[in-house]
Structures are given as C-alpha cells and as structure tokens.
Structure 1
Amino acid sequence: MSTEQRLSRLERSVRTWRLVGIGLAAFLVTAVLMAAAGSRGDVRARSFILEDANGKTRAMLGMSKSGLGLALYDKNGKNRALLALAGAGPMLTLADENGEHRAMLAITEDGPALGLSDENGKHRVALFVTEDGPALGLLDEKENSRAGLVVLKDGPTLGLFDENGKITWKGQFSI
C-alpha cells in the first residue's frame, strides 16, 4: 500500500470521527430537550431524570430516535459526560467546565476511535484502530491534518502536511 493510500485512509478516519461528533451533538440536543420537558420526580418508560436538591437536572437516562444515552450534568447545568449507544456502537464524551467536548471515545464501523479537542472544541488528535492497523492524526487549530502515522502489515508510514493538506514530507519504515 502506498504512502498516499495510507494517508488517504487516515484522512478518511478523521472525517468519520467528525461525523461521530455531529451525531453526538444531535443526540445531546435531543437529550437536553427531553430533560427540559420533564417535571420534578419524573420516571417514565423513555427517560429518567435525576435532580439535585435545588431542582437542577444532574443526570438523565433516556431514549431518542438515534439510541440510548446517559448524560451527566455539573452543578451549573453543563453537560460534562455522555455515554450513548447509537449507530455503530457505544460512545463516551467528556466535556470541560465550559461544556466544550474535549475527549470522545467511540466504536465506529471501522473500529475503535479516540478524539481529543482543544479548549475551543476543535479536533486536534485522532487515534483509530482499523482492521488494517492503527492510525494517529494530529490536526491544527483549523482542524486540518498536519501529521499522520499509520502502522500496517508492511510497516509504518509517517506523513507531514502543510496548512493546505499538501504532503511536505513522508516516510515509510521497515521494522
């Protein structure tokens, strides 16, 4: 497999991770709307809302069109953690105190994926394991791939990209 094919596969994985993030955002909106529609002490077949002593939602377990999810909220009402089962498989997201998603772990159609984002919610690190092997992508503040490493049966390949996604350096190594 050529270096270009390896790097193309890594970029496809990054795009898949972005779609996972969009799906998660849609699920979160549904979960928040379901939580807001409930009243104190609700226990229903489709959702369970846990409130603190002040009546603030702190946890919500519910169903949506896309699947099942458990959302955990901090004392300020910000969603800080979500465990969801939808689409290709389970997904866990962790958010900072501002509600920005900073870490996502998911099982995708291609295999497990881990994504890390900066304080602005921009994807910066993507790690995947596919049937062909593991891949690591490092992205800039504009979410453009700047470095990629894939390890396949015939050896590892490292690629570096400029701000336009053009390969500036590539190397394949034998183990």
Structure 2
Amino acid sequence: MTKREARAQARTLRAALDMQAVGRGMAEVLFPLPCWAAAGTVLAFAAMPDEPDTAAILRQALADGKHLLLPRVLSKTAMDWVEIPDLALLRPGAFGILEPPADLPTADPAVFARPLALIPCLAAGRDGVRLGRGGGYYDRFLAHYKGAKLLLCPEAVLTDTLPCDDWDAHFAPEEILTEKGIQV
C-alpha cells in the first residue's frame, strides 16, 4: 500500500467517526495519565473537523495553569509554536485551521518546563508509524523535539502496519493514545 492509498483509506474510515465523541474519549483517558499531571507545558493543536476534537484538552490545559502552545503555519514547509493564553484569540489561518494570530510572538518549546506534545495523525500503525497529511510539519518538528509526546489516533484508524519513509516520525506503543486508552 502506498501512502496515498493509506491516506485515502484513513480518510474514508475517519468520515464515519463522531470526532467530538472521539475527542471527549481521548480527553477522559488523557487527564488521569501521569504524563498529563507532570506536564508544565502542553503542545497541542486546534482540531480540524476530521480530527479528534481537542477543545476539552485545550481548555483543561489552561484551567490547570499549564502553558499551552499551538502551531501556526508559516509556509508550505514551516510552522512555529505560539503560547496561547486564551482560546478566544484563535483565528482561522492556513488551511482554515484555528491558530494563534500573527501578532503573538513565537515560542521555543525547548525553553518550557516539562513539555508534553499531543500530535495529530491521519492514521497510525501499531508499530508506531505515524501517517500525517503529507506536509511534513510534525515530522520536522519531532526530529528535534526531546520532550514527552503522545500521538492522538482514533482507534478506528490504528492499523497493524503503514507505509513509511526514513523521515517519518515514530512513536512507541505507549505513546499512542486512542479514545480507549494507551495502546500497549
């Protein structure tokens, strides 16, 4: 199977999912985890309609007093991270994704205490391969990121194997979070 075929298959499977319910389920299993409690900073994303709804996670991060960093697309190949103190500041950006406005400064995730990155995907392999949308934004970020991370993957698009290239980010099984919990 090619990546193009895998993406098409993942999109078909995702179209049948209630992403608000998937997102709520992920939040319920995330909040009791030690990595959530230990995180002083959460790197997350504002979900698109075909992604697990992250609104509860974003709200809880702020309510817990954690630093919340969200990505902002700069170009077809680059994104930066921005600390967002209030979700009301988010505006539609590149690709229609809610992101921090241009007037907020870039933040370096490496300078924040105890970061936890919550990473989106189209699908994931049980072997830890992440299938993204093809832009490489998160692969480039993860190549240098050293903190804790979880891949947010709906159970329905978690497969045995996926095609991958050398540059694709990999996750350990205990770093894959579905609405049913950690996949170990």
Same fold at TM > 0.5 = no
Higher relative contact order (CA closer than 8 Å, sequence separation 6+):
2
Instruction: Report the structure, 1 or 2, having the larger strand content.
Output: 1
TM-score (norm 1): 0.24
Specify the structure having the higher radius of gyration (Cα).
1
Instruction: Report the structure, 1 or 2, having the larger helix content.
Output: 2
TM-score (norm 2): 0.23
